[in-house]
Structure 1
Amino acid sequence: MFLKYEIGSLILRIVLGITFFFHGLAKFQNGLESTSLYFESLGLPGMTAYLVAIIELMGGVALLVGLGTRFVSLLLAMIMVGAILFVKLGAGFLGGFEFDFVLLGIAIYLLINGSKLLSVDSVILKTY
């Protein structure tokens, strides 16, 4: 039974990691300056764009290898709450924040449950 839950957590961790890695990479590829200006247009400090991009890119990698899953998931959940509240809420659920809502749900799941299967954390912490 335990392995079944760990396989599910692993799948969610990989999906979330890939998704955020590519979102962070896109911010770097499109130029952080333009992302910074966009954040400023939302009333957020422009420097926030740099922080978000780094967390998404590096957090995605960390999730893929299973390093600091709970902490990274907390950071990504906070980013999703911000994205929903500052960017997508006005568009409504469908066609607006439904994708962000799903990512938030996955991040919260991993924050609560972690993911030990095939993770660096399990090697470092010797939890298996």
Structure 2
Amino acid sequence: MLDNADLGKLIVRLTLGGLLLFHGIAKLMHGLGFVESQLAAHDLPIFLAYGVLIGEIVAPLMVMLGYQTRIGALLIVFNMLMAVVLVHSHELMALSGSGGWALELQGFFLFTALALIFLGPGRYKVHS
């Protein structure tokens, strides 16, 4: 019999990881120039841009598979905090053109990952 809580955790993991993975794949395919420019603008070393590949490819895969989910989710939280600080801080209290919060997507990734840190992967995961 399916456990609703574990099925819900699986859906949350697949949604968070799957949606964030698209961002990582785009950066992998098109380069890290934008991330590097944001780091340079904040006087940070541009080699840190490679960290976004961990936060948007490795961590989402960990979360989706349920492998070290809490660590993967923590990496996503850190990645999203860096994105907000380096790129989106001016939008923190802004509304989008459609009336929603300007940082809805970043907020979704950040707070869903934060919830997974507390929830864990559930039963449906790869075994480590």
TM-score with structure 1 setting the length? 0.82
**Which secondary structure state, in structure 2, belongs to the residue aligned with residue 94 of structure 1?**
coil
Q: Equivalent pairs: percent with the same residue? A: 29
| Structure 1 pair 56–6 and aligned structure 2 pair: CA distance change class (3 A) | same
Q: How big is the alpha-carbon RMSD for the aligned residues of Structure 1 and Structure 2?
A: 1.9
Deviations 1:7-59 (A, max 9, x none): 11111100111122111111111113453234323443211211112331111
Unaligned segments of structure 2, at least 5 residues: 97-101
Distance in 2 between residues matched to 1:67 and 1:38, nearest whole Å: 31
**Residue 18 (structure 1) aligned with residue 18 (structure 2):** yes
Paired residues of 2:39 and 2:46 also in contact (CA < 8 A): yes
Provide the residue aligned with 1:98 in structure 2.
104
Aligned pairs, number: 121
Deviation at residue 98 of structure 1 after TM alignment? 2.0
Higher helix share: 1
Alignment of 1:59-98 (within 5 A): 59-91=59-91, 92-95=93-96, 96-98=102-104
